[in-house]
Chains A and B, each alone.
Chain A
Amino acid sequence: MLTPPGDVLKDRSPPVALYYATALFLGLAFTLSLLVLAWNAAQGEQARAFARETLAPQERLGNRLRELDRQLGQFITLVQQGIPSAVLARLCEQARTREPALDGFALVAPDAGGNANGSQNLCGAAHDWPTREALLGAVAAFPESQDAFPLRAPSGGEGHQLVLAQHCPMPGSVERALMMRIKGTALLQGVPLPPGLGVRLEIESRGPLGRVTLLARELPARARAPWAPSPLVNSRLSEFTNYAVRLELSRAWTPAQLDFGMLASAAILGLGVTLLMLALARARELRIRELALRNAVIEVQVAQQTQELAAARDEALVAARAKSDFLARMSHEIRTPLNAILGSMEALMDTQTTPAQSHLIRMCERAGQGLLVLINDVLDLAKIEAGQLLLEKVEFSPRDVLEEAAVMHTLAAAGKGIELVTDLSASLPEACQGDPVRLRQVLLNLLGNAIKFTHEGEVVLKAWMEEASGTPELPVLHFEVRDTGIGIPPEKLESVFERFAQADSSTTRRYGGTGLGLAISRELMEGMGGRLWAENPAQGGCCLKGSLPLQAMTRAQGWAASGRRVLLVEAGTSQRESMKRALESLGADVRVGADDVSAAGQISASWHPALIVWGLKHDATDPLTALDTLARGCPAPPRLVVLLPALSGDLPARCAAAGVEVGIKPPRRESLLSWLEAGATMPDAATLLPPPAARPASARRSLLLVEDNDDNRQLVHVFLRGQCWDITDAVDGLEAVRLCTEHSFDLVLMDIQMPRMDGHAATHEIRQLERASGRPPARIIALTAHALPEEHERILIAGCDGYLTKPLKKKTLLDFLAAELTNLRMDPTSLAKDATVQADILGHG
């Protein structure tokens, strides 16, 4: 999966050879140029040394030649002046002795053929010397037409004797016949010449001799070393009027004579630079390699990190699933035995027990109920955390939800002697859209908390609707639960909403509870788009406030003033005020009294009540006598209602016997309305009694029992014996679908796990069948042994209306079916959700 770093390097390696070749080429070129420069410099040095060497012989030669030339000039002058030959001969001898290079002067007499070989040595013996006349005669004999003497190179004589012809431009001049004889070897005599030096001396005359070599000594090494560099040559031409002498000095040389230090320095420098270039190339290669390696490593790391992240995410997902699963399983595993314990307690309570035993059993039951609540809370929170909180959007009456929440706590409040007051504003709309179940859960939590932490005084549930300020905004439902309990320290007002947090850890010991209620409530409120917070009212206790934007569907109902006179006797101020407001909002003319004496003061001839409502505290004395006195004070007998904190003791029965109606505090609006209605005599208490578990079998209902387990089928048959249900059995999903095509059933109890076709598939099929045939859908209630919330959701998604958890208990089944019967009577298609909720509650309980 991952590319090994080596391969990456190989793939991306740069053209290393090119770098090296360039570096090597540049380095060598530099070295070569440097060597050439050094060579040239060394050679130049040699040449300069040689030039200095040749200076002395050349100067010496030049000096001698000038001297000879001067003497030649003097001699010619003398000859022209006609100096006697003997004098000339003497002078000639003097010149020869003084100047070794000068061999002497000669007169040349050309022969008849024009050749000048008839020369005569003037410097010879004195007798040879011609007279002037002879000399002039000889000159005159020269052919005028000839430019120069036809002279020959001297033959005979000694060594390198050479003859120089002096020729004169004037015809007939003596100079034309005069020659100077020079000893070539002596020209350079007395000059120190190094042994290896080649010397060449040449003379050029304008005469017919042309160029004649006077002296030549060849370089000894020239022939032997063919590869030796060309020799150093230095020549110098000394020019005179009638002739020129050229001295050429040459010397062979070998590279060994050069300055090798310089060459070596150049070579070392060049090589050093080459190495430097190579090092640079190497460094570049290494850099590129390192970069490539680093990139490869980074890539590998990134790939690894990506993999690790993916793995971590997968792990987290698995862990989340496992957690949800674990919670569901745990809760199931705990709930099953817990239900058994609670059931046993219930059964035990019905047996004959001593007071001590009853006390113990109640303790057990309370503990068990607490544990159930904890498990449900934990499950709720887990569900919210897992984002599985599914909010409904259904139409509901906020007043109903608020009143129901209060009613459900009347017993608890009465048990502690706390006044429970509902102060619900007339501004509450009749119908809103939202999730009533979650709202009720929040309200139950808040009320439960308030009652738990209050020991005396009251708990007030207040609610009102705030109109929307603009079109895009929704009206806001405000509610608050205020108590006169222990309160919350100001610094803990926020932290009470944290999980497993209570204002004081000691409260856990004193009041119990999981500490999850407020956390769940806040999560729920925020999930619905609302808020929940705590405040400390000035008068003590604590106040939890909530606000929730809700779409109002039906506006608040207004009630015309009926002028019906009501006398309200109630000791509690809050209760009295809220009830007065509630009655007045229903159109009544209300007067109040805190007790019977102040109430009696309200009755006069002009104002006497048609209805007297008497609110009773939990520890109040029997109100019937006082009530009777009040009623007697009225001209017409008023309708009498006593509001009790709870339906307990013998008071309800005695009230009924005395013709006094009984209600529960806080009264619901329906109750108030029914009391305000003239002539209604139906005792209200009846509606508050729990519905009978079994209803008369007035109408038979059909029930399809889909269950593969024989034992469970028999069980349901026995449980429903004597009920209004006609039961048809199906042993699996296939049979159930088949039966549903032939008959229609009011209710289907559908096991989920079955062979051949399971409950999900069967429900799905039946729903499709119903849609296809257009017949009203049957109520399908799933039976499942799974406690997983996901499983429950799957059941509802498959098309079931609710579910019951197995094992089935008789009471659970009968209560549930009783509720179903009510639904069927009202409207077979409505209230599906309520059934689910009820099933949920029953299943948990």
Chain B
Amino acid sequence: MNVAPGTHRTPILVEVERELAELIPGFLANRVNDVASLRALVSRNDLQSICRIAHSMKGSGGGYGFDAITRLGGEMEQAARSGDTTKVLALTDELEDFLVRVRPVFP
């Protein structure tokens, strides 16, 4: 990632169910991998794979409490379907920014 976590950006606090605590790091790490994969796929113009990753993000994010990831996934799926790689890249950046700033909070 370009920016070290929590350097100068406002953290985003996301409330996550306590019982999911053990899963969160793995989930977020997978999303960080997704960011790298997405960038690579955009350079290869592999829209189908982008679509798959985006759809998966859309379907899983909210379950963990990360509704933003579901939203980004949905938008990205649309963008990939319409072949808008610029939008995909922008959304990938947004995802990265979110991952950098997110702070899971357990009630």
Contacts and interface: CB of A to CB of B under 8 A. Distances in A.
A806 B30 contact: no
Contacts of A712: 59-60, 63
B68 to A, nearest CB: 8
Interface centre among B15, B26, B62, B71 (most CB of A within 10 A): B62
A681 interface: no
B19 A721 contact: yes
Contacts of B59: 709, 712, 751, 753, 783, 785, 806-807
Interface in A325-378: 329, 332-333, 336-337, 339-340, 343-344, 347, 350-351
A343 B64 CA distance: 12
A284 interface: no
Given A336-B71, A336-B74, A806 B62 contact: yes
B62 to A, nearest CB: 3
B67 A351 contact: no
Interface centre among A708, A711, A721, A755 (most CB of B within 10 A): A711
A710 B62 contact: no
Nearest to A713: B60
A709 B23 CA distance: 14
Nearest to B21: A718
A718 B19 contact: yes
Nearest to A333: B74
A806 B71 CA distance: 12
A618 interface: no
A336 B71 CA distance: 7
A327 to B, nearest CB: 15
Interface in A130-159: none
B30 A336 contact: no
B19 A711 contact: no
B70 interface: yes
Given A715-B20, A718-B19, A721-B19, A710 B30 contact: yes
A336 B70 contact: yes
Nearest to B28: A711
B63 A808 contact: yes
A715 B107 contact: no
Given A336-B71, A810-B17, A711 B55 contact: no
B37 interface: no
Interface size class of A (residues with CB under 8 A): 20 to 34
A809 B63 contact: yes
Contact of B61 (A710, A751, A753, A807): A807
Interface centre among A333, A715, A719, A807 (most CB of B within 10 A): A807
Given A336-B74, A347-B107, A785-B55, A806 B15 contact: no
Interface centre among A333, A714, A753 (most CB of B within 10 A): A714
Contacts of A809: 62-63
Contacts of A332: 74
Contacts of B22: 718
16 contacts: A329-B78, A336-B62, A336-B71, A340-B62, A351-B107, A712-B60, A714-B23, A714-B27, A715-B23, A755-B52, A783-B59, A806-B60, A807-B63, A807-B64, A807-B67, A808-B62
Given A710-B30, A810-B17, A715 B64 contact: yes
B56 A709 contact: yes
Interface of A: 329, 332-333, 336-337, 339-340, 343-344, 347, 350-351, 708-712, 714-715, 718-719, 721, 751, 753, 755, 783, 785, 806-810
Contacts of B55: 753, 785
B63 A347 contact: no
Interface in B8-35: 15, 17, 19-20, 22-23, 26-27, 30
Interface residues of B, number: 25
A337 B19 contact: no
Contacts of A807: 58-64, 67, 70
A344 B61 CA distance: 15
Contact of A337 (B30, B56, B64, B67): B67
Contact of B71 (A337, A344, A350, A715): A337
Contacts of B52: 755
A785 B64 contact: no
A326 to B, nearest CB: 12
Contacts of B30: 710-711
B67 A709 contact: no
Interface centre among A709, A714, A785 (most CB of B within 10 A): A785
A712 B30 CA distance: 12
A329 B61 CA distance: 18
A757 B70 CA distance: 24
B27 A711 contact: yes
Contacts of A333: 74
Given A337-B67, A709-B56, A785-B59, A718 B107 contact: no
B29 to A, nearest CB: 11
A265 B78 CA distance: 92
A810 to B, nearest CB: 6
Nearest to B17: A810
Nearest to A710: B30
A719 B30 CA distance: 20
Given A709-B59, A712-B59, A807-B59, A340 B67 contact: yes
B15 A347 contact: yes
B60 A709 contact: yes
A806 B66 CA distance: 12
A711 B67 CA distance: 14
Contact of B64 (A351, A711, A753, A783): A711
Contacts of B67: 336-337, 339-340, 343, 807
Interface in B57-105: 58-64, 67, 70-71, 74, 78
